[in-house]
Structures are given as structure tokens and as C-alpha cells.
Structure 1
Amino acid sequence: MSLHPTVLTDAEAVGDAVAEMVLDRLRSTAGDRFLLGCPGGRTAAPTYRALARHAAAGADLSRLVIVMMDEYIVTGDDGTLRRVDPELSYSCLGFARRHILGPIADASHAAGIAAPTEVWVPDPADPEAYEEQIEAAGGIDLFLLASGASDGHIAFNQPGTARTSRSHVTQLGEATRRDNMGTFPEFTSLDMVPTHGVTVGIDTIAACSREVVMIVSGEHKQDAFARIAAADAYEADWPATIAVECKSPTLVADRAAAGQ
């Protein structure tokens, strides 16, 4: 099944539209928690800003659980794998606290309403536990997705990743690492970018989500838009094409990404 894209004016318009989707699903879903799958980086940043604006206007986002897709890892002196320090700007956990949960919580408190408190991130020492945590919570209610510009990676799933893959530790390819140099300007040389990460798998995204929204913004994402819009099944050389095999998929892009 190929996706029919919704094309909006610019990245901010995309962010506004996706935030409205999040609010709509949140209001129509019962339960103590609403699991929102979130990428780090630039793509979904307008959506996160829009959610904070809604919180400032009184929208109740207290049930949100921010479920991050991945995290950079390092090897400790004892040989164990661990997440990078969340105080580092490129930490996905740190990104979630500073740019997703934090602004929403601050806006909620200012509006006098309850704020969300939870951020989940996979543990490189036990990736399988992330699967269990997500499944025990009933799955991800809405998963926001993003595609690598140059190689189609999704989360840290590299080209060639098996369709059946679940949460795992992976080596990051040069294209993925170069993409992240654009996201984090303090990476002034490739050797500064971590070489490994822990990530949800391709099948994690497809099997553990009720609905997905693939967000594609910017002229540099035209190849990504073309590949995802044309796909009718998962293509391992462009892992972001998994969106077409997910339940209730939506592709939202801005005019720059769509080449309009």
C-alpha cells in the first residue's frame, strides 16, 4: 500500500497539523497513559513546539508518555554499554527532557494544569526490556517517524536492517553520522559523532504502534519523500519505508520536501 501524502506550506504548518493529530488521538483514547513515540532531532521539533503552545492554552497533556526511538551509547571502562550522558546536547534522553517534555511541562504548570512526567529511552544493556515495557503498556498509541535524508535510516536502523528486527544495539553508518552532524552543530568532525546506538527495531515500529505519522520537511528531504511516497512495502535499502507497512499510516510533508 503506497501512501498518499498531505503536503503543507512549510515545516511549521506540518508541526501544527501533527500536533493537532496528537491532541485529537489523546482526547479520544482512554487510559492512564498515552504513549507518543518520538524521534529526536529537527524533523519533529515544530510538532513539539506546537504541543507546548497547546499546553500553554490549557490543553491537558498530562497523560503523555514520551517514548524515544533511540539513544547514542558508549562503552564504559568495565566494558559495559551505557547511554551517553543526558547532559550532552546530542543525548536523546536529554533532548526529550529539554525540548519535548520540559517545555510542555513548563507550559502546563504556567496554565495551572497537570503536566506529563515520563520519558522512556531504551537501555543498551537490555534492549529487549524496552519491547516488554512498551508491550506491557499496550503499545504506542501514535508514533511520530522521521527519515534520514541521505540513507533513509529510521531511528538508528541502518540500510539493510531486517524487517523482523526488534530493539537492538547497532553500529551507525557514516551517512547516518553525517546526518547527525547537521542536527548537532557541535559535531564539527565525523570522529566526534558516536559510532553506536541502541534503537527500536523495524518490527518494533510496525508491530507495537496503533498509528504512525511520517514527517518529512525541508528541501534536503526530497529523496526521502520520493522514496517513501513511492514505496508499497518495506525496502531494506531505505528503512523509513516501513511506514507503509504500519497500521494507520500518514505521510505529512512540506512543499520543500515534496519539491513543490
Structure 2
Amino acid sequence: MARLNLLEETRFEKVPVSVYPDPSTASKVVAKRIADIIRKKQENGENAILGLATGATPVKVYAELIRLHKEEGLSFKNVITFNLDEYYPMQPDAAQSYVTFMNKNLFDHVDIERANVNIPDGTLAVDAINAACEAYEQKITDLGGLDIQILGIGRTGHIGFNEPGSAPNSGTRVVTLDDLTRRDASRDFGGKENVPRKAITMGVGTIFKAREIILMAWSGNKAEIIKKAVEGEISSEIPATYLQLSDNVEFILDTESASLLTRFDLPWLAEDIEWTPVLIKKAVVWLSLEIKKPILKLTEEDYNNHGMAKLVTQSGPAYNINIRIFNELQHTITGWPGGKPNVDDSQRPERANPAKKTSIVFSPHPDDDVISMGGTFIRLADQGHDVHVAYQTCGNTAVWDDDVIRYLEFAEDFAKEMGIDASKISTLYKESREIFETKKPNQIDTEIVRKIKALIRKGEAIAGARFVGLPDTNIHFQDLPFYDRQKFSKDVSFEDDIQQTMELLRQVKPHQVFAAGDFADPHGTHKVCFNILFEALRRLKATDEWTKDCWLWLYRGAWHEYPIHEIEMAVPLSPQEVYRKRLAIFKHQSQKDLPVFPGDDPREFWVRAEDRTSETAELYDQLGLANYEAIEAFVRWEF
């Protein structure tokens, strides 16, 4: 298995860390470690005592264990398992229970004896919990302790459900869940208000007794907390830092979750490196912001004092480096996102020709276009380009039930006022109210309700695109099938989504494609939509001549921006354009004030968008470049 840049505890890392290219590769490594323990115990006629975790992180580990069982004869007859935790209260047959999770993802597919499966009981009476927790601990002890404990990590730094404030010697017990933990679980429960406030969890002390501890983390969402857990000071506020005290622990990460560790994020501080153009640009931008000096004022002393002496020796003097990076950043800035006609474009991010380009903005949800790149969208239309927008999904998941009732009431009243037969609408209105009155958390809407919610989002998207300046002929609603299919099954084919996207691209034949590049959640709609679009473009490149002149630009969402050193096109916005962008976002009324899935950020989407673009402009200013009201940023993606 390929392991990337493994350094046994650098001067920044306080635990052993192994980094693998992707979650699948890393999961196979963990599964093999578990399988080796099981087989060794079998050879000695002993039981293997496993500490197991739930959540998205270990799913591929369990899938590999199932494969080893079915294809390579790995038996679980001698395996005894103890799960880390369970929500409280929780019925074992509930969809969100960890009993259901473990059965679905492992136990139903292997030959483990059910009597050997131990999961905290979420149905206990309150006065019986303490005794059950003590019995759980004692059973582990009587069996000789855990041979291995696998862990994930929550964004609060919790391991198991040991939330901030947990003691290093804590045992199995009832805990109160952190608000962030409950927010992260809200999708599974149909809203945070439905997530239990408590859980039963093994303690940190229990975990420490395992002979081997593996903490796994995947994706950029975990990068920040991983950095704190690996490089930070031991603190009860981040329980995962307690693992620094163990001699038996290893963190197994993918490249994304490891991306903020110093050896990857700021490698010049961790080791002697080979300076590439990308690293030079990143380091100079970092140095300027770190010591709060514009790039053109950085000195050799500044470089030498921050791990960059070799750079100055090889590529200096410092001022030459400063000038080069300053110019590179300056050349990213353009007020002509479609290219400026009749000028030398050798130092510009976009081509001058053709002067009038055909551009298409792919929007995963019906509002990502105006939220994420609304100013650029407006600029392209104002500058006379043939601009199209493609709304990839209908977005019906993110509409409140109350809005359905409100629109049906309007339709019923309108029909009556106009003397139109409103009986069907009245029936639909009555049925919808009855459904909503008995609707359970996470219950999938009926087909007709999904259609109404989709129409609500469609009307808002049309209003927003028209406000930007697009004719109706240039507004495309793909309503890709995967979006509704995934409500019923995670195992779906994307072939018809790809074919539909290819057909639209062939119809438009764009010179520019803009797409959402927010990949923090690998299972999110943005990532799926990008994968579909990328595959469509990849296939078309092999057959269609127009793709040779087609560039793909990626934008980020409302939550965060590309790092400055990665930006390849920075489009500055005037105060008037920022205001016009805000009005375009306002057309999405169902997402205003409080959207169904707001994420961690309590700000409204328009506020997030304005803050993000103004922060990008401020960073350019701090680096010594022009001071703009706002900047929207893009990177170019090869396909």
C-alpha cells in the first residue's frame, strides 16, 4: 500500500502519523491490521477482542473485512466486539441506532456469533445505566482487554462520544453531546432538534487500555481538528489530544485530512525541502501575511527567520523573489472574466479571443450560481458574452414544508379568484397538510411534494438568472436523476446524468465552463455534480472538436475561498456590483433567513458570500496589491 511521506513523529507531530493517498487505500491497511489480529488469535486458539467505531469513517474498513471474509475465508467465529458508543435514548431497530449501523455495515455479512457482539444499550432505564456501564467495563477487563480499538474523530475533537471536558481516566458512562456533534448528526435525524442530547460511551481511560489504538480520519473537513490533535497541546477541550500520552496509538489519515499538518501545509518549517514554483508562491504569501508586511517589503532577514533561508540562497536576492510573486498575483486580477478583447493576453488569466465567448455556469443547487460567483456572472452578461446557466439538481430537499402549504394556498386562492376549478388543488392541499402533520424526521417526501418543492426552487432560480441578465432560452434545468434516486438508495448509477450533461454541453458548445469546486464533503452534492460534469467533459474531449477551445473554471461556495496562492483568476467587484449580487441572491426566498440545511454558519447566505469576497479582497490588499471592495476567485481545472 502506498504510504505518503511517512515521518515518525516530526518535531511538530506528537503521535505517529501515517498518510495514504485516499480513504480506500488507508481503510484496507486498517482492515489488514484487524484481520492479522483475528488470524493470529485463531492460530493460538484465543478470542480476538475488537473495539469498533461507527460513523462514515470506518465504513470502508468494514467493507474490506467483509470482502476478506467472503473471498479469503476470514472467519469471525473467535471475534468478540465492543462498540464505542450509542445514542441515548435509542431503540436498537431505529435507522439511526449504532446497532442498525453495525448490522448493516458488518455483522449481517460475516459469521460472528451474535452473543459476542456488545453495543451499549440505548433502551436502559435511567437508574440502570450506571450499573450497565460498570458491567460493560468489567466484561472487557474479564476478557483480557481490547486487542485493538479503532476510532474516528469528531470536529469537536471527541473520540467515541468523549466530548470536550472529558477526563483522561474516564470510564464508560452517559455524556451530554456537544452542540456541534448534534449539528453534524442532524442530517441522519432530519434536523438537530431530533438528535438525542445524550449518549453512552466508552471513556478515554477505557480506550487507553487497548493494546493497539488506531485513529482514522478522511477528508478536508477533519483537517483542522487533526492538526490540533496531532500537533497541539494536550487539553481536555480536545479529548483526542490525550492520545499523545499513549505508546500504542497511530493516526491513519488520507491526504486531505492531513493537509493542515505542518509538514504538508508549511513544509519549509518542518524540513529541508526542494523549492518548486508552487511552494515558493505559497511560502511568500504565507510569510507576508504571517509577519503583516506587503510582499514588496519582505527582506532577506524575514526569509531567514522563517525557515526560508535556502530559498533566498537559491533564488534570491529577496527582492527578486518578491517582484516575481507580486507580479504573478497581479496577473490573476482581471475585470474581464470572459477575456478582454483586442489586448495582449499573455499575462491575463483568460484569452482575448474570441471577443464574445459562450459561457455556461453549472450550479449544483439552484442558488450556487449567484451565491458563489454572482458578481462574475453579472459581469459576463454585462460584457456581452453568450452566458448560460445549468441548474444540475432541483434542490427540493432544501425547502421547508411550510413553503409547500403557502404556495398551495396561493394556487387555490388564485384559482378561485379566477373562476378556475380548484378542486384538485384543494385535494392536494388537504393531503399535504395531513402528510406534514404526521411526517417523521428524515421521512422522504411524496413524489408530488417533491415536485412542488422543486418548482419553488425553479421559480426562484429563473428570477435570479433573469436578474443577472440571461434570456429564458439560456436557463437550463437539468434535474439530474441521481439527486432524487439517492434519497432511496446510495448505490446509484450516474450514467444517465453523464449522458444528459454531455447532451447539454454539445448543444451549448461553450468556450468557458464554470463549475462548483467545493470538495470538502466527498459525498456532497457539489462533489457528485462535479464528477458528473468532469466525466462528461472527459468523454467529449475524445470526440468533439470544440472542447479544444473550452476552459474549465472552478469556484468555491459561500463558506470559504481558495487560498490566495492557488487563485488563478481574481475578479474584483465594485460596491454597486456587490449590491446587485445581493439582490440576485434575494430572489431565492426559500433559502433566505434560515435555510433547511444552514451548516455551522448562522449567517444568511448573502452575508456569507459578501464577507467571503470582501475577506479575499482584504488579503490581496494586505499583500500590497490594489484595494477592492470584493473579489471572486477561480482556479482553472484541466480535463
Query: TM-score, normalized by length of structure 2?
Result: 0.36
Aligned match of 2:256: 256
What is the CA-CA distance between 1:241 and the residue it aligns to? 2.1
Counterpart AA for 2:88: I
Distance in 2, matches of 1:211 and 1:141, equals: 6
Distance in 1, matches of 2:92 and 2:45, equals: 30
Q: Is 1:193 the equivalent of 2:205?
A: no
Counterpart AA for 1:201: G
Distance in 1, matches of 2:35 and 2:113, equals: 14
What is the CA-CA distance between 1:231 and the residue it aligns to? 4.5
Inter-CA distance 186–211: structure 2 relative to 1 (3 Å threshold): closer
Query: Which residue, 79, 99, 118 being the options, matches 1:64?
Result: 79
Aligned match of 1:172: 177
Inter-CA distance 223–171: structure 2 relative to 1 (3 Å threshold): same
Inter-CA distance 166–223: structure 2 relative to 1 (3 Å threshold): same
Aligned match of 1:163: 168
Q: Once superposed, what is the RMSD of the aligned Cα atoms?
A: 1.8
Say which SS state the counterpart of residue 228 (structure 2) adopts: helix
What is the CA-CA distance between 1:31 and the residue it aligns to? 4.4
Distance in 2, matches of 1:119 and 1:176, equals: 26
Aligned match of 2:206: 204
What is the CA-CA distance between 1:146 and the residue it aligns to? 1.0
Query: Which residue, 125, 134, 137 being the options, matches 2:143?
Result: 137
Distance in 1, matches of 2:15 and 2:167, equals: 21
Q: Is 1:119 the equivalent of 2:134?
A: no
Distance in 1, matches of 2:49 and 2:183, equals: 30
Counterpart AA for 1:44: P
Larger mean CA deviation between 235-244 and 168-177 belongs to 235-244
Contiguous gaps of at least 5 residues in structure 1: 75-83, 106-114
Query: Which residue, 90, 93, 103 being the options, matches 1:97?
Result: 103
Structure having the higher helix fraction is 2
Say which SS state the counterpart of residue 27 (structure 1) adopts: helix
Q: Is the 8 A contact 2:185 2:192 kept in 1?
A: no
Query: TM-score, normalized by length of structure 1?
Result: 0.85
Distance in 2, matches of 1:225 and 1:99, equals: 25
1:199-256 deviations in Å (ceiling 9; x for gaps): 111111112x111001011110101221222157x42111122322234211100011
Larger mean CA deviation between 236-245 and 6-15 belongs to 236-245
Counterpart AA for 2:242: I
Q: Is 1:20 the equivalent of 2:35?
A: no
Say which SS state the counterpart of residue 258 (structure 1) adopts: coil
Q: Is the 8 A contact 2:16 2:249 kept in 1?
A: no
Distance in 2, matches of 1:68 and 1:49, equals: 17
Counterpart AA for 2:78: R
Select the structure of larger CA radius of gyration: 2
Distance in 1, matches of 2:24 and 2:88, equals: 31
What is the CA-CA distance between 1:153 and the residue it aligns to? 1.1
Which one scores higher on RCO, CA 8 angstroms, separation ≥ 6? Answer: 1
What is the CA-CA distance between 1:22 and the residue it aligns to? 0.6
Structure having the higher strand fraction is 1
Q: Is the 8 A contact 1:66 1:96 kept in 2?
A: no
Larger mean CA deviation between 152-161 and 118-127 belongs to 118-127
Identity %, equivalent residues: 27
What is the CA-CA distance between 1:59 and the residue it aligns to? 1.8
1:52-88 deviations in Å (ceiling 9; x for gaps): 00001112232222210011112xxxxxxxxx11111
Aligned match of 2:214: 213
Larger mean CA deviation between 122-131 and 168-177 belongs to 122-131
Q: Is the 8 A contact 1:66 1:101 kept in 2?
A: no
Say which SS state the counterpart of residue 110 (structure 2) adopts: helix
